[in-house]
Structure 1
Amino acid sequence: TPQNTYSDIPPAPTAHPPPPHYDARAWAERTLETLTLEEKVGQLMMPWLLGDFAPEGSAAGERARAMVEEHQVGGIIISVGSPTEVAAKLNWLQSLSDLPLLVSADLEAGAGFRFDGVVHAPTNIWLGGATRFPALMALGASGDPGLAYEMGRVTALEARAIGVHVPFAPVLDVNNNPENPVINVRSFGEDPEQVGLLGAAFVRGLQDHGAIATAKHFPGHGDTGVDSHISLPVIRVSRERMDSVELLPFRRAVEAGLGAIMTAHITVPEMTGARTPATLAPAVLTELLRDEMRFGGLVFTDAMDMGAVDRLYERGEAAVRALEAGADVILMPPDLEAARNGIVEAVRSGRLSEERVDRSVLRILAAKERVGLQRQRIVDLDRMRAVVGVRSHLAVAREVANRSVTVLKDERELLPLLGTPTANVYSVTYRRPNDLRGGRAFNAGLRQTYRRLRTAYVEPETTREEYDRILSRARGMNLTVVSLHVGVRTASGSVALPEEAVRFVKMLARSPRPHIVVAFGNPYLLSEFPEVGTYLTAWSGIPVAERAAADAILGRIAVTGKAPTRIAGFEIGDGLMIEAKGDNGR
């Protein structure tokens, strides 16, 4: 058979010129030209909306409708709800909006961070949800960038299936202050290089699978003892220190192609020269982020209803200052109308140029185009069951949890436990009153072995008398396990235990009876009771982390986690390696 020659190749078809009305520019550029000033300013707004069921004519439904139809917002930050309810609500809002809405959500621990945990209170039945991962410090304890990528991948797939395009994740704050009441286990850890490595992998996992990653909180919220939801933290460090610690993870993420950044409501006098929040500081958002770091993606403010900004500035003025500083999206303005009017009036007065507004609007529209919203803005509700909370995704969450359990102390070499089924074991769970699931999975894991497991639940208001009764019962047990569900809570200003709870743990540790303390949240609690004999941390009080802790204690899995931060005299990298039990037990 003769070989083909170039002469055998048919000529290329003749190229025809586009029709006279064809516009080769991107959708974002073409759309920008059609907008009025008021519509452009609407695109800058991203108010908060609950993911609850909002019937036609209800106050909640009419408020949501007004955001889109009257205020013509460019996007929504959606909060807690079931996956199907959230997706249906977002589809409805997308159908009301002239332009597609860019939807964000706080998903720093997976889509389940906002779309899981719905419990029917009268029966205490969990109604299912998206995949929930342990806090990011668990990834730090695993030390595995591959797991960080996988967590980003799963988060992106589930977010997009629900209708969320911009997960506000990962947290790139370096948690080098144990007293930090707002970051804590939300950070990958204390080592800037490790935070940068894991953060960049997380970013790639998100963005390789259709989402826009948002690193937060720029220029770094880790070294503070003040909750910015309440007041303005001041970070008194040099620019050189910022470069080597706080800024390093953000640089790594930008190098990885980061799509968006969220600002921090903190002030860094060395950089701003005043007590100006970074969110409102041109020296931070324009000179540092845009000019020096060459970041071209979206800049979201942190929530503008937080005390660090809202207590210091009039609401319209705060929005104008954020835009002047270099922000693109005004997140959660406490008064949507005041924020819109403030920016419109600033343009009309000449304080802001319309060109400055256009630059931000074009970035927002380009982000919508990047995720394909100009082609398809409605999600397929039937497809969600094949993506959200599926078994393969839960397996990734379990892997993170299992590989993150970190044992810092085991002075009596209790671990792994013998697992004698008839042993008298007492499980005492500290949790908030509204934490309905706290301790449930952990106790179920223990009860698989200890059929006679006794349980007690305590909370912030538990009295000394009740703790004394629990302590008396503990003295008659073969083993007491105390699990502490103390995590970051918005605007709480604290990640500490009440005085009576600390006293109880100290007295238990001083008794001759065997005991184990498990931190399901704040790992730094060990500094309150260093006399504890066996101490481990599972980083989060969620079911996969609770089950991982129970399995680690009982030797069902190996303990391999390493501390990603200094904890009560233990250094980064500390952690006991404990093998799983063999088939014959210990």
Structure 2
Amino acid sequence: MRRFSGWMAVVGMVACSSPGSGAQTVQTDSAPSPRRVPAAAASPAVAPLQTDAAGRAWVDSTLARLTLRQKVAQLVFPWVSGRGPDADAPEMQRMLVSVSRDEVGGFIISTGSPAATAAKLNAAQARAALPLLIVSDLETGPGVRLTPGGTRMPPAMAFGAAGDTALAREAGRITGLEARAVGIQMTLGPILDVNGNPRNPIINVRSFGEAPDAVARLSSAWVAGARQGGLLTVGKHYPGHGDTHADSHVGLASIDADMARLQRVELVPFRAAIHAGMDGVLAGHIAALGVEGPNAPPASQSPRLVQQLLRGEMNFRGIVFTDALNMQGATQGISVTEASIRSLLAGADALLQPPEHARVISGIVAAVEAGRIPRARIDEAARRVLTAKAAAGLHRSARVDPAAVEAATGARANVAVADSVAAKSITLVRDRGGLIPVARGARVLHVTYTSRATGPAGSVLQRALAAGTAGSEHVRVGASTPVSTFTSLTARAAEADIVIVSVAVVPVQYQGLGLAGGFGAWVQSLAASGRKVIVVSLGSPYLLDAFPAVPAYMLAWDVGQSAEGAAARALLGTAGTPGHLPVSLPPHHRIGEGIVRPR
């Protein structure tokens, strides 16, 4: 972050200057900023984990009859796929063993169709002595997990570019309705990270942006919408993953910020979301070096960050999850059981995705019996898990109606909201020479980059270009594309009226983030030679360092029908470009810039 501190000075500006090339209208979101929530303890406007008298009574009576081992088991949330009960019989059997023998508190569920997910979760709930709390990562809407069939939303940074809190709230509501329809009661979201580091390898478009107040406003709206849809929310990655240089899936990430900086930047969205009634916080495997020194533990294992800061100064009363305990950032030189014990001692309540969870449960029980973990700490954590279940209404009913699943997921009205976000987020960063809109009679060479030169990215855009121009040749390239191919493409570019380059670079766990091979240099050389080149990013906005000479640069934020369809309409002039940069692109463009063109 320090490297880009000069650019951060413009965060929160109402208007920013033009990059100095071409006539540009620059606008930013003019909606009011959220009311500042003080750094000191403050009562939330909406309490987390709300339940009624019957729910509270159920929590009390249930906790009173659980053994120590059963209480510990309630804190554990293994991973399962969303495949149906018959699609993977061995996995289903393992899941049922976790339910009936291990008595886990719930599961984190991954990808499967809505019907398969509902069937699997109903079967597990039918076997459980206590209702299971089902959580899932639904960052880009229910369709990211409920596939095919659920509604897929654009990533958070697209909402930042659109700047529309009403759309953020509606996206949260839709996510809640579709998730609850299949038996998911809690989501590990929204992302509250302030993405101030363009080189961050894992957050990127998952963040709403780099302006703390804008991230706070949009994420709080999403929390409110999710609550309206019946979904519990767990914001992440505390105390902030936006200014890190490492992916915590592969190692311990760290932030250098001191406490004053954390209060001013990283914690702003967390305070706002807590004030808005967020139910949980996910503590990341992130070492706060500027607060706890060079030997700082991960936040997920830090009493200072969880007990003193989050519970104490920030007055958070909801549930605290660890990030996944199969991530290497959690287990630097220690076992998963030891990481789990340290997390509980730090103040975490729920242990996410620990490998060999039965062994972890036994290890925690042994630590309690040896006096290392106070029994009161286990009781406190188990009470919060049970309270989350009651807040989701699981003490009344845990199973869903399978006949209602299809109508409740992927409805046309829900997809229309995703389309609206995509359309409002299209950001024309630069257009030197007025290349957009592309003339209908133009001959187009369309080149799509993905790391492996495969996949659907660019397909929707290509179909629209082929239909809306005199002809569009489509070529896929990737990290291993040979130089000879780029040499051939240079010759073909000379025969085209315009070259459109679509680039799909998105953050993926355990993988790097960026361009590889000869692609970036080829685009730069093509633009430097005077060719008419339009780059459309279908993911990360931070690509201009690779080809700063490109005359036109548009951000669509995502792949697929909604984003690529919106980009195509903007390219062909049948739709406008209303978006603004929610992040800076140093040294090229400032936060808030965007060439706004009406339809």
Q: 2:337 corresponds to which residue? A: 316
Maintained 8 Å contact 2:175/2:229: no
Hey, what does 2:238 align to over in structure 1?
218
> Any idea what the Cα deviations from partners look like across 1:251-297, whole Å, max 9, x if unmatched?
00011011111111110123334321000000011100011111011
Letter in 2 for 1:143: G
Distance in 1, Cα, partners of 2:506 & 2:55: 51
Q: Which amino acid counterpart does residue 488 of structure 1 have in structure 2? A: P
Please tell me the residue identity of whatever aligns with 2:403.
D
Deviation at 1:54, TM superposition (A): 4.3
Match of 1:499 in 2: 517
Shift of 1:353: 1.7
Q: 1:14 corresponds to which residue?
A: none
User: In the alignment, which residue of structure 2 is the partner of 1:475?
Assistant: 494
**Higher CA-based Rg:** 1
Counterpart Cα distance in 1 of 2:480 and 2:78: 35
Distance 2:71 2:412 in 1: 43
1:439 is matched with 458
Residue 504 of structure 1 and its aligned partner are, at CA, apart by 1.5
Letter in 2 for 1:211: L
**Contact preservation (8 Å) 1:319, 1:342:** no
Residues 1:577 and 2:569 are matched in the alignment: no
- Could you tell me the TM-score, scaled by structure 1's length? 0.91
Aligned AA for 2:281?
A: I
Separation (CA, whole Å) in 1 of partners of 2:379 and 2:197: 40
SS in 1 for 2:545: helix
Do the aligned residues in 1 keep the contact of 2:56 with 2:390 (CA within 8 Å)?
no
Change (3 A) 1:157 1:29: same
- Structure 1 segment 42-121 matched on structure 2, within 5 A: 42-55=73-86, 58-116=89-147
SS of structure 2 residue aligned to 1:115: coil
Q: Which residue of 2 aligns with 1:343?
A: 364
With 65-74 and 270-279 compared, the bigger mean Cα shift is at 270-279
Structure 2 letter corresponding to 1:559: T
CA contact (8 A) 1:315 1:338 kept: no
1:368 lines up with 2:389 in the alignment: yes
Q: 1:129 to 1:435 in 2, by over 3 A?
A: farther
* Aligned equivalent of 1:561, options 571, 575, 579: 579
C-alpha displacement of 1:432: 4.0
Distance in 1, matches of 2:277 and 2:371, equals: 35
For residues 510-566 of structure 1, the C-alpha deviation after alignment (integer angstroms, 9 at most, x for no partner) is: 233322101111100112211001001111123211111111111111111000010
Residue equivalent to 1:237: 257
* Secondary structure of the corresponding residue to residue 468 of structure 2: coil
Once residues 434 and 328 of structure 1 are traced to their aligned partners in structure 2, the CA distance between those partners, rounded to angstroms, is 43
Structure 1 segment 458-537 matched on structure 2, within 5 A: 458-492=477-511, 494-537=512-555
User: Counterpart of 1:303 in structure 2: which amino acid?
Assistant: A
Q: Percent identity over the alignment? A: 40
Contact 2:460 2:564 in 1 (8 A): yes
Task: Show the counterpart of 2:417.
Answer: 396
**CA 1:323/1:478 → structure 2, altered by over 3 Å: closer, same or farther?**
same
The 1:367–1:24 alpha-carbon spacing in structure 2 relative to 1, beyond 3 Å, is closer
**Cα drift, residue 129 of structure 1:** 1.7
What are structure 2's unaligned runs of at least 5 residues?
A: 1-52
Equivalent position of 1:194 in the other structure: 214
What's the CA shift for 1:433?
Answer: 3.9
AA matched with 1:263: A
Alignment of 1:448 with 2:467, yes or no, is yes
Shift of 1:434: 8.6
- Residue 160 of structure 2, aligned match among 123, 140, 145: 140
Q: Against the structure 1 CA distance between its residues 474 and 29, is the aligned structure 2 distance closer, same or farther, given a 3 Å change threshold?
A: same
The answer to whether the 8 Å contact 1:42/1:74 transfers is: yes
Q: How does 1:531-550 map to 2 (within 5 A)?
A: 531-550=549-568
- Contact 2:453 2:479 (8 Å CA) reproduced: no
Which of 189, 205, 210 is the aligned partner of 1:185? 205
Measured after TM superposition, the shift of residue 459 of structure 1 is 2.0
The structure 2 residue matched to 1:32, chosen from 63, 67, 72, is: 63
Q: CA RMSD in A?
A: 1.6
More divergent stretch after superposition (465-474 vs 320-329)? 465-474
- Tell me the equivalent position of 1:206: 226
Please give the TM-score of this superposition, normalised by the length of structure 2: 0.89
**1:491, distance to aligned residue in structure 2 (A):** 1.1
Matched, 1:359 2:380: yes
1:219–1:432 Cα change, 3 Å: same
On the 8 A contact 2:479/2:517 being kept in 1, the answer is: no
Letter of the aligned partner of 1:63 in structure 2?
R
Q: What SS does the corresponding residue of 2:534 show, helix, strand or coil? A: strand
Separation in 2 of the partners of 1:92 and 1:459? 43
For 1:251 and 1:434, how far apart are their aligned partners in 2? 42
Alpha-carbon deviation of 1:374? 1.4
Contact 1:43 1:74 in 2 (8 A): yes
Distance 1:452 1:143 in 2: 35
Q: Is the 8 A contact 2:429 2:554 kept in 1?
A: yes
Q: What is the CA–CA distance in structure 1 between the aligned matches of 2:451 and 2:230, rounded to whole Å?
A: 36
Structure 1 residues 514 and 57, CA gap change in structure 2 (3 angstroms): closer
Contact residue 272 and residue 281 of structure 1 kept, 8 A: no
Query: Partner of 1:248 in structure 2?
Result: 268
Deviation at 1:451, TM superposition (A): 5.5
Q: Structure 1 stretches (4+) deviating beyond 3 angstroms?
A: 22-25, 432-435
Instruction: State whether residues 85 and 119 of structure 2, in contact with CA within 8 Å, keep that contact through their aligned partners in structure 1.
Output: no
Which string of whole-angstrom CA distances, capped at 9 and with x for unpartnered residues, describes residues 53-89 of structure 1? Answer: 3438832222222221221110100001111111111
- Which is worse superposed, 548-557 or 502-511? 502-511
The count of aligned residue pairs is: 545
Asked if the contact 1:280–1:325 (Cα under 8 Å) also holds between the matched residues in 2, the reply is yes
> Aligned letter for 1:558?
G
Unpaired runs of 5+ in structure 1?
Answer: 1-21, 117-127, 581-586
CA distance in 2: counterparts of 1:54 and 1:92, whole angstroms: 8
Aligned-partner Cα distance in 2 for 1:552–1:337 = 53
How far the C-alpha of 1:228 sits from its partner, in A, is 0.8
Go from structure 1 to structure 2 and tell me whether the alpha carbon gap of 1:514 and 1:434 turns closer, same or farther (over 3 Å shift): closer
AA partner of residue 71 (structure 1): D
Which range moved further: 163-172 or 57-66? 57-66
2:186 to 166, 181, 185: 166
State how far apart, in whole Å, the 1-side matches of 2:403 and 2:361 are. Answer: 37
Where 2:190 maps in the other structure, the secondary structure is coil
**Letter of the structure 1 residue corresponding to residue 311 of structure 2:** R
8 Å contact from structure 2 (residues 114, 406) kept in 1: no
Letter in 1 for 2:391: R
Match of 2:438 among 409, 417, 433: 417
Code of the residue aligned with 2:168 in structure 1: it is: A
